[in-house]
Each structure stands twice: as C-alpha cells, then as structure tokens.
Amino acid sequence: MSDASERLAPVSYLPWAAPDEAQHDRERGGSRRPRADQRSRGDRLKPRLAAVEHGADPDGSAAEPIETGPERDDRIDRLVVSRLRRSALSVAEVRAVLAEHGLDDGEIEEWIERYERLGYLDDARLAEQLVHVNGSRRGRGSGAILQELTRRGVDAEAARAAVSHLDPAVEQANAIAIAERRARQLTGLDRQTAERRLSAFLQRRGYSGEVVREAVTAALTADGS
C-alpha cells in the first residue's frame, strides 16, 4: 500500500457494528472469489514486461516466480481485510487500495460488493462514526465535519445525512465551551481584538457564523471582557 493509504485516519468500529469476520473466513475457504481472469490484455503482459526490465528473457525463464491470480487475490485480500479490521475505511479508500494493486474496474467492483455484503464497508455507518468522533469528542463544527467526510471519500448523500443529524443545541454548547477555554488565553486584549481572534478560531473549527457569534458573545461575557 502507498504512503497515502498508511496515513488514513483510524476510526474504530462501534461495538454493534463489527464486521462479520466468520462469514469472511468461510467465503475465503470456499465460495466465489473475485475473478482474476477479467484482466485486460495489457495487464496480462505486465509480468513479461517486468521480466524484461529486470534483465530476464521475455519467456520469463530467468525471472523471479510471478504471482498468479489466486496468490495475488489472497495477498490483496489479507492486506485489505487486515486494515479494515483495524480501522473503518470508506468505499472510495478501499477502491483506491485495490486499484493500486493492479485490479481492473470489474474486479474492484466485485471486491467492493463482497466487502459490503460481509459488513466491512458501509459509508453510512462510517459517516455516523466520524460525526460522533469529530463533533462530540473533538468539538468540531458541522462544516469541518463535512469537509472531513469529503476528504475521506464518503458517499456524499451519506455524509450530508449524517451531518444533518447533529443536534444544533449540542453543537452550540460545544462551541461555547471551546470559546470559553480559548477566551482565557486572550485576557488583556481589547474587546474588538478578542472578538476577532476568537471568531476566527471557531470558524477554523467549522462552526457557522450564527453559532460563532453566539459563542463569542457568551464566552467574552463570562470572561468579563
């Protein structure tokens, strides 16, 4: 996997949303696998080209053993499932990983469908997790949360639905609490400067203009500024 995939932000599955690992293991043991014979002619030529590049004869007689379809499938499956068991990924993130390992579009869609069926992939569930983590635990506003969902490639409809479920009262309370903590660092500044800096700080955390105004007023009033 590329360095970009290594930096994917880990998000733990909620207790009730664990993927069906037993079913996955059963499928690996005997049921249909994504077909390896759907590769394009160009993909089938890659092993021969690689052999030439490494100084071997075009027939591959002097080259290292080349990974065949089933071996390749097992390796990629182990890699993807290992990452999915450690952290939730979006469909787009898994699709990118599969593409990096040489699967064609038809194969990728088969693998995606299989992982969704097994419960490893669910953009709606991932969106709910990210809203909870970024809203309740990290104190980010709806704007910043939506940006994070977009960055992770979460399905746009699922992202909007999850963000729409944010409780406005809870978001406002989070903004006020954050503003009050930040206001303690602005002691000694005149009211106008404190308002400007505090407003910019909350805006960077993804809060809307109305939420920012109310939070700033409440924080500076409580601070006596």
Q: Pick the closest to residue 126 from 16, 14, 23 (CA basis).
A: 14
Say if residue 116 is in the same domain as residue 21.
yes
**pLDDT tens digits, one per residue of 106-121:** 999 999 999 999 889 9
pLDDT score for 19? 58
Say if residue 48 is in the same domain as residue 111.
yes
Structural domain includes residue 215: yes
How far does CA 208 lie from the centroid of its chain?
24
Collapse the DSSP code of 121 into the 3-class scheme (helix H, G, I; strand E, B; otherwise coil) and give the result.
coil
Helix (H) or strand (E) holding 151: helix 142-151
Q: Look up the pTM and report it.
A: 0.64
Say if residue 28 is in the same domain as residue 110.
yes
Say if residue 79 is in the same domain as residue 137.
no
Structural domain count of the chain:
3
Contact 134, 141 (CB under 8 A): no
pLDDT score for 85? 87
Contact 24, 118 (CB under 8 A): yes
Structural domain includes residue 1: no
Say if residue 65 is in the same domain as residue 79.
yes
Q: Pick the closest to residue 39 from 59, 66, 60, 69 (CA basis).
A: 69
Q: Which of 91, 121, 151 is the last residue of a domain?
A: 121
Structural domain includes residue 182: yes
**pLDDT tens digits, one per residue of 11-32:** 554 444 555 655 665 556 554 4
Compute mean pLDDT per 10 residues along the chain, 225 residues long, and list them. 46 50 58 48 42 43 56 89 90 94 92 92 94 87 94 94 91 93 91 95 94 94 70
pLDDT score for 188? 86
Say if residue 132 is in the same domain as residue 156.
yes
Say if residue 156 is in the same domain as residue 175.
no
Q: Pick the closest to residue 118 from 12, 6, 5, 28 (CA basis).
A: 28
Say if residue 176 is in the same domain as residue 145.
no
User: How long is the chain?
Assistant: 225
Say if residue 43 is in the same domain as residue 138.
no
Structural domain includes residue 196: yes
CA dihedral 83, 87, 93, 94 (to 10 degrees): 40
Q: Which residue has the tokens 């909350």?
A: 202
Collapse the DSSP code of 18 into the 3-class scheme (helix H, G, I; strand E, B; otherwise coil) and give the result.
coil
Say if residue 131 is in the same domain as residue 213.
no
Structural domain includes residue 71: yes
Taking each helix axis as running N to C, give the angle between helix 123-131 and helix 156-164, from 0 to 180 degrees, rounded to the nearest 10: 40
Q: Which residue has the tokens 């068991």?
A: 85
Say if residue 155 is in the same domain as residue 131.
yes
Structural domain includes residue 194: yes
Enclosing domain of residue 160: 124-164
Structural domain includes residue 5: no
Say if residue 141 is in the same domain as residue 212.
no
Structural domain includes residue 12: no
